[in-house]
Structure 1
Amino acid sequence: MTHNQAIAFDMLPGTITAYLTAHRDRVIAAQLGLFAADATVVDEGHTHAGSSAIAAWMSHSASAYTYTITPIAAEQSGEGEGDYSVTQHLAGDFPGGTVDLRFRFTLRDGLIQRLVIEP
């Protein structure tokens, strides 16, 4: 059974806060530098594995729509020391106009090993 504990945003690891800032500001190089070379990202049902695929996903995501991002909750998962999730509210010109997305991070050696983005 997984136990998630709400935490303050300032209690998130620096890697995650740096990613969230770079993602909000759409700075692809800064985001990419926070991922392990063999990392995976799962978004919209698609898995992007490795630096090249993740860079292509970031480039597409940054240019597809215009939106604002507001973090609304953070949790540390009981699954492991490096497991965190951040729920963010997005509002913009994408279908539906607003959505709350959960960004589930798994860290390894201070880098993002896996990121799953889902409603």
Structure 2
Amino acid sequence: MQMPPPIRTYFSARAPQDGDALAAAFATDAVVHDEGRDHHGPRQIRDWWLAAKAKYRHHAEPIDMTQADGRTIVRATVTGDFPGSPAVLRFAFALSDDRITTLEIGA
């Protein structure tokens, strides 16, 4: 599947060594919405991502990708240390200037 480079970085990054590369895929004013909380800017997003990786030890394997309402939607099988694993989650990315500007994660 041919994903835009920042989305490919999001799914291929490994914690903790790729934390800075992951953060660099996000715009300076980016927002991630996950588990009812918002994380703003690359530094908060990096910290959220590293904490989630440490807590859940999860990995997301993309299944398919579509375009809708100006966003790139990736469905992925997420496997890790959480109830209901594995689960198929929806990752809705908005991009601008080859950076992720918003990411919403949900079922």
TM-score by length of 1: 0.80
User: Is the 2:6–2:99 contact (alpha carbons within 8 Å) kept by the matching residues of 1?
Assistant: yes
The answer to whether residue 40 in structure 2 is matched with residue 49 in structure 1 is yes
Letter in 2 for 1:61: A
User: Structure 2, unaligned stretches of length 5 or more?
Assistant: none
Post-superposition offset of 1:110: 0.9
Identity %: 35
User: Structure 1, unaligned stretches of length 5 or more?
Assistant: 1-8
Give the corresponding residue for 1:89: 77
Cα distance change of structure 1 residues 52 and 69 upon mapping to structure 2, 3 Å threshold: closer
Give the corresponding residue for 1:38: 29
Give the corresponding residue for 2:60: 69
Greater Rg, structure 1 or structure 2?
1
- The aligned length equals 105
- In the alignment, the residues of structure 2 paired with residue 117 and residue 38 of structure 1 have an alpha-carbon distance, to the nearest angstrom, of 18
Residue deviations 1:40-98 (CA, integer Å, cap 9, x gap): 00001111112232122112111002233221111112x22xx2011110122212222
* RMSD of aligned alpha carbons: 1.3
TM-score by length of 2: 0.89
